[in-house]
Structure 1
Amino acid sequence: MDYNAVSMFVAVAQVGSLSAAAKRLSVPLPTLSRRITELESDLKVQLLERTARGCRVTEAGSRLFEHASGGIEALREAERSVMSDQARLVGRLRLSLPQSFEPWWELLGLFQRAHPDIQISVYSTERRVDLFADGVDVGLRVGAIADDTVVARKMLSFRHILVASPRLVERHGALRHPADLSKYPCAAWGSTLDARPVWTLGGHAHKVAATFTANDYLHLRTRALAGDIATELPSFLAVEYLKRGDLVELLTEHPFADSPLNLVYRRQRHPSTIVRAYLDFCSAHLRVIEDKCKVPFAC
């Protein structure tokens, strides 16, 4: 059996597309297609079924993938280990981060200064990426993890807060209850153009009559600082402005719930040396993040 062809098959099974796998492996598409056809001929089974959107593994293909994927990852790790000297980690780390997650940018800088021979590629997106299909080593995810294909390491919890500029509060009056939000122009985060946002304040859901929605918290923060709207922000995007008095926290007696923050990586027997180094570094330097998530007591 051609083990290079098996490695190509595993890549196709992970991304669900011959062309995407060819691009990921830097192999011409005709070459990859021919090698997998030859592998199917050698094994005398069909491993892939072509579909309109790409391809999917057959039952036999699923069995091969289950047995082969872990072994190929172990071989790749052995190769990385041999090629890297013990003092300096060498290689590439592929990460996904939520958009606008500013505190993590500083932590990544610290990590790369500690390991200058590691190349970091960051994919920033609002959607929950598929670590296998997108080729991501470690993802940063907010919220509960209900995915048995990944291992989660909890970092910390933070919460969103409701904020506005002092000028807006002076114009529209103080808020005592979430129902009073009807007096304010509000903006909210929304993942679609027809989003109908809901804020859960003090454990109760409240529909938001938003005059503006965006899937970018930095944009919402800019509008809040301009005095245009009241909005929800992750605490780390508001803390410095709360301390300076450019923003004030609203409805402090009706807080948002805490949100867990997790690092997730593919479920496999042996995560790579670089992945383990990154996970351990993040755990050891959480204070960088925690200090930026603490809402001033006075607010």
Structure 2
Amino acid sequence: MDTLTRIRAFIDVVEAEGFSAAARKTGRSKALLSKYVRELEDELGALLLNRTTRQFSMTEAGHIYYRSAADILKEIESLADLVRENNADLKGRLKVSVPRTFIDADIGQSLIDFAVENPDLSLDIVAEDRFVDLIEEGFDLAIRITRLEDSGLIARKLADFRIYALATPDFVKKHGPLDHPQDLSRVPVLIDTNSRGHNTARFNLPDGGGVSVAVNGPIEVNSPQATLRGARAGLGVAMIPDFIGRPYVDSGELIPLLEDFLPNDRGIYAVYPHRRYLPAKVRSFVDYLHAWFRKNT
């Protein structure tokens, strides 16, 4: 039995968080997977997994070996992708991390359209509002909606976006005028807890400086869609991405506030680990999204 097969078995067990789950996922028997992992440990002269009848965990050596072994397998897969690159049909599995804000908005249709055009490629989409560790958690890439900071990852901007501060005309009539960021400190503001500032809103000033304003309101929720509904109900001001709020601005249902003060350095990015050989499926996916945004936004 070759070492590569043993390594694959070990990674399958780790990512499934147990031998039984890995057996169900891979179609191999639990005993066979256990045999492969044991042979790998014998070959290395180190215990990689702690096994009991009730618990499963990696040893320190297991953690170290998993990170390197997972990278090696990705490189091998990337080499295979290079050979197949001229083939128009993409195959295999692509694991993508996306924010719920992305998948729940109209722009989430981009993922569905890609899947329709590439039926032989399986998209494993994990939607959650946190920055996953791409390498540690086995993701091929992630979509991030943010002001990008240096993270050691490769990033490609798919589209620009800005933040809207939105309220109904009746709310503005009742609480206005709202002409300066400090005015938000005296009115209800619906808090999206995905924001890094939570109860603090950051604004730009005409002189090039900035100002932080403490805000609060009747709702705090980790969903811009929920704060949007609150704003439409007249509960307060919602600060949400333009790709979510734009239809309600265009219809006149909501009014944009403080446009000259809001940051405009945000973007939607595809990010992925730096690897010598970028898999064709990742490159094709990112190229597709970039073209999709140019056409649809």
Q: What is the alpha-carbon distance in structure 2 between the residues aligned to residue 20 and residue 287 of structure 1?
A: 45
Separation in structure 1 between the aligned mates of residue 91 and residue 65 of structure 2, nearest angstrom: 33
Match of 2:242 in 1: 235
Instruction: Identify the match of residue 204 of structure 1 among 203, 211, 220.
Output: 211
Letter in 2 for 1:165: T
The RMSD of aligned alpha carbons is: 3.3
Secondary structure of the structure 2 residue equivalent to 1:200: strand
* Cα shift at 1:44: 2.5
Aligned to 1:155: 158
Aligned pair partner of 1:244 in 237, 241, 251:
251
- Gapped regions of structure 2 (runs ≥ 5): 205-209
Counterpart among 263, 288, 297 of residue 270 in structure 2: 263
The residue number in structure 2 matching 1:76 is 77
CA distance in 2, matches of 1:42, 1:136: 28
User: Alpha-carbon deviations, 1:4-30, whole Å to 9, x = none?
Assistant: 1122334566x5944598266555555
Name the aligned partner's letter for residue 178 of structure 1.
P
Which residue does the alignment assign to 1:254?
Answer: 261
Alpha carbons 1:162, 1:231 under 8 Å: kept: yes
Q: CA deviation at 1:133?
A: 4.2
TM-score when normalising by structure 2: 0.80
Asked if structure 2 preserves the Cα contact closer than 8 Å seen for 1:187 and 1:210, the reply is yes
CA contact (8 A) 1:8 1:21 kept: no
- The answer to whether residue 10 in structure 2 is matched with residue 9 in structure 1 is yes
Where does residue 172 of structure 2 map in the other structure?
169
Change (3 A) 1:8 1:257: same
The one-letter amino acid of 1:201's match is: F
Q: Residue deviations 1:170-199, cap 9 Å, x none? A: 12222122222244222110159xx95211
SS of match in other structure, 1:210: coil
Matches within 5 A, 1:90-129: 90-101=91-102, 102-129=105-132
Contact 1:158–1:260 (Cα < 8 Å) also in 2: yes
How many residues are matched? 284
Q: CA deviation at 1:89?
A: 2.1
The aligned counterpart of 1:86 is 87
Asked if 2 retains the 8 angstrom alpha-carbon contact of 1:48 and 1:57, the reply is no
For residues 29-65 of structure 1, give each alpha carbon's deviation from its aligned partner in whole angstroms, at most 9, with x where no partner exists.
5543432222111233344567987214429x73685
Give the distance between the partners of 1:43 and 1:2, measured in 2 at CA. 10
Match of 2:207 in 1: none
